[in-house]
Each structure stands twice: as structure tokens, then as C-alpha cells.
Amino acid sequence: MEGEKILAFVDLLGFSRMVSLDKAKARTVLSDFYNISWKNIRNNQLVKGTLMSDSLLIYSDNRTSILNCLSDIYRECFKKNDTYENLGKDFFLLLRGAVSEGFVQLEDRTTSPNLNKNFIISPALVHSAKLESLIKGSRLLVAVNNDSEEQNKEYKWNNDLKSSLYPASSIKYMEDYKYTDALWFRDESKELDLQRTEVKDLLTIAFKLVKENATNPKVIEQHIQTLRIGLLSYIKFLDRDNDPILKELLDNYTSSQYWLLWITMMEMITGGFDSWCYEGSKEIVNFYTKASLETGWIEVIKELNKEEQKHLKGTFKRFLKMLEIH
């Protein structure tokens, strides 16, 4: 098989460390990853995949099918974290991957009883694997060729996609591409109330993982980045009054290590349908006042002033205007 394909490379985060800590527990996590991936790919005739150790290679001719299949796999795997209490906080099921398009040559070569061979040549695989290595947390990056009208149109206006795409402007790799995050916490194929319930349930797991690993410098960034994807997925459901997710952020995330979540909160508040209702909010003003005195605010300023993050500076200005801070 050879030709232009949509291809994704997905990796199981932290697996090597889990193996070094407890092989039996690591096997439980890997088995769940295999079973969930196998079930979803088997039931989708438009995608094909290969599982290799703690990695998944998946490809298709159909953008919608591969992204929807991956979003389903991400959600199901993430839900498994709620069943791992007996494993301990060092064991979790987080996937990290990237999708790109390009030439793929794949040959199913003859094998012998003691040798399996997967022959593949693909610039798309190189692209996806490189992107996967650039990111932290359970993210699914999608590479969009700026020169492809077809790609831009389908990714931007495709109502059949289960997960919306959000600009990942901090990612710079190939000049002719822009990169986006799939907001996989939210399954837009479901009824709105079911979407809201599922995103809240997944956010509960994400908050728990962050809290449990708050003092573990080896993994905390992975969990913070994962929580960010969940919060961005939640923007549409932000309540006008006493939103429980926003309240959780305001009450428990003023420590400097959560500076990325402070930016995310600004994106949520300014990007929601009812953003007007937060104008002059005393609770948010108090949070801003406290957070801006923390050393983590230096990281916020650095991020806002990056050339590729101009839109975030605009978000920050709208945030200050809403809170009537001048």
C-alpha cells in the first residue's frame, strides 16, 4: 500500500517510568491502552492501525474518521484513570500524539515464526512523530497545511468532527503548516446535556490527577497540560453564575506552578458565549490580584509577549477590560 494518507503517531505517556516502578501495574495500563485502541479501530472500517509496544500508528484516507476514532480512544483511555486508585498516583493512562498528511508506503512483508516485519516509509510519520515529541500532556495535535484549501476547509467547517480544533500557536515546526489541538474531552456528536456531563466528569479526573501529582516535578506538567485541554473543551458550557469548574480554578489554583491555567482561565472567560456576565467580577478580580503577585506571573508575561502568541495578548487585554482593570 502506498499513497497520500492521513497518519497519526500516538504514544503512551510515562510508560517507561511506570515499568521501572512496577511491571505488573504498568502491564495493567498498557493492556487497557491496547484493548481500547483495538476495539475502536476494529469497529471502524475506514482506519487501520498498528500497535507497537507503548505506541499506536493509525492511518486513513478520511480525515473525519481518523480524528473521530482517535478522539474516542483518548476519551475512553482517560476515563480508565478513574479506576486506577489501587495502582497509585504514579500510574496513569495518558495519550499524546499528532496527525499529519503525506505520502505513506507500507508493506506487509512475509514473516517467519521468530520475526515480524513492518516496512514503512513516510514523511507523514516523521512529521507526526516529531510533533508528538514537542508537546507535553495528553494532547492530540493536528497539522494543517496552509497551502491546502481542502485541509483548511475540512478541518475548520466539518460538522462531522466530534472534537473541535483549537489553535496551538506555540508549536512551530514546519513553516508551511499551522498546528491545532483537538479538544477531545468533548464529543460533539452527542446531545448537548450529555456533552456537558461527560466533559465535567473528565475534568473531575483531570483535576484529581493534577492535585495528586502537584509535588511531583517529573509529571506535573503533563497533567497541567492535559487539564488545559479539558478546560478549553468546556468553554461552551461555562455557566453565568457560580460555575463549578471556574470556582475550582479560582479557589485552588493560585500557586505559581499553575500559571498556564491562569492563561487558560482568561481564554475561557473571554471566549464563552456569556462572557459579559463576568464583567467586573469581584471573585475574578481578587484572583487576578493575588496571582499577579506570584512569581508565576513572570511566566505569564513571557508567554503573552512571544511573537507567535499575539492572540493571547489580545485575550489578556479583553480580560482586563472585562474586569474594568486599567
CATH 3.30.70.1230 segments of the chain? 2-182
Q: Is the model's pLDDT at 123 over the cut of 90?
A: no
- Residue pLDDT, tens place only, 54-84: 999 999 999 999 999 999 999 999 999 999 9
The runs of H, that is alpha helices, within the chain are: 15-21, 23-42, 63-79, 123-134, 149-157, 192-212, 220-233, 244-252, 259-271, 282-291, 297-304, 310-322
How far, in whole angstroms, is CA 187 from its chain's centroid? 13
Flag whether pLDDT at 278 surpasses 70: yes
Enumerate residues 6+ apart whose C-beta is below 8 A from 121.
104, 105
Residue 281: what are its φ and ψ, rounded to 5°?
-60, 125
Instruction: Give pTM, 2 decimals.
Output: 0.94
Looking at residue 279, what is its pLDDT? 83
Q: What is the pLDDT of residues 5-55, one digit of tens each?
A: 999 999 999 999 999 999 999 999 999 999 999 999 998 999 999 998 899
Given CATH 3.40.50.2300, say whether it is the number of domain 2-182: no
In this prediction, residue 280 has a pLDDT band, given cuts at 50, 70 and 90, of: confident
